[in-house]
Amino acid sequence: ICDFAVGQSRQLYGLTIQSERPSHRLMEQWHPLGVVAIISAFNFPVAVWSWNAALAAVCGDSTIWKPSEKTPLTAIAVIKIAQRVCKQTGADPAIFSLLIGDGPSVGQKLAGDSRVPLVSATGSTRMGFDVAKTVHGRLGKSILELGGNNALIVSKSADLDMAVRSIFFGSVGTAGQRCTSTRRVIVHDSVADNLREQLLGAYKSMRIGNPLDRNTLVGPLIDPGSVDNVQKSIERVKGEGGEILFGGEKLDGSEFPGGCYMRPCLANARPEFEIVKHETFGPLLYLMNYSDFDEALTMHNDVPQGLSSSIFTNDMREAEKFLSTVGSDCGIANVNAGTSGAEIGGAFGGEKQTGGGRESGSDSWKSYMRRQTNTINFSTELPLAQGITFGDDASSATA
């Protein structure tokens, strides 16, 4: 991301705009905002900071980082690296500042401080609502990257081997603790049984354990409370009429210390279940069937969140419709690629209760700057725009 940001720093383009007034020119340029607050979550404790901090730095801003109170050590470590680099290059290390603390004592104060024109916050939808009310209550700016309830459609023409591998990685990778983790699979009736059998085989083969062991595929959740939250969601699936196909149990013993391990869960569900519309931040995957493609799109979009989405199909019409205005309502929509694993070159973020913010690539840099429109008059006259005259001598009017 630092390499990307350095390249981006030479492409912070403004505009030259043709003026309607003779001997005038309009110009648009971008200026730094000043201080940017970064509030990050536990699950990608360095990446989210870097997406924001690297772009903010090349835009001329300084950053104050409030990491998750669950992951302070990685924040301290990476800030010390940034400090060392700044000293080696003659920059002020305060460009990258760090505040450790919880939401009420640090996060809310950053969000409410008028000296911080932009707050970039990553976390739950509940947290996003609180940050938005505070920041927008003082007419500040925000970048919100919140919950994702990401779905993957498997059509009747899909390459099932590719689909299964993408679903498996998207649902159990990082123990289902990515904002882009695959939460829902919407599969065509004609291939549903085959897909379920292949997924069951993959789930039964996964190795769970120490994340420092290269042979481990699934590690722990962040804390016992997260395991409990997934367990509660599993019980709600059962209560609403769903079927647990595999997993879901807590794992104990010397191989699974700290109460942070569980077996990833695969469940049959219905799109109308209330729990399906809620993001469970852990390894719980819902399987749902469809018969008509428009039905699949309706099921896909019928959740409050709108981060990442995917379709596996070899039907060009289905692929194009999925990417069209009547298709996925998410900020990220992929064809024959999973919901997880976004590239930094594209803008990252989502719609609806995901918050609408964009980080990383494309023109996301504009969020870290303020736009200024300039008028340059290189004549000796002062005409008004839109042909307006003021007073007897139009040329003496003030532009």
Which residues are annotated as catalytic? 145, 179
The tokens describing 298, both together, are 């309706």
For residues 293 and 317, give the distance between their C-alpha atoms in angstroms, rounded to a whole number: 11
Bridge-based pairing state of the strands 141-145 and 118-122:
parallel
Q: Report whether 41 contacts 48 (CB < 8 A).
A: yes
Instruction: Please report, for the chain, how many H helices and E strands are present, in that order.
Output: 10, 21
DSSP state of 208: B
Residue 341 exposed, middle or buried by CB count within 10 Å (0-12, 13-18, 19+): middle
Nearest CA to 279 among 297, 302, 298, 305?
305
Q: Cα 101 from chain centroid?
A: 23
- The residues, any chain, with a CB within 8 Å of residue 165's CB and separated by 6 or more, are none
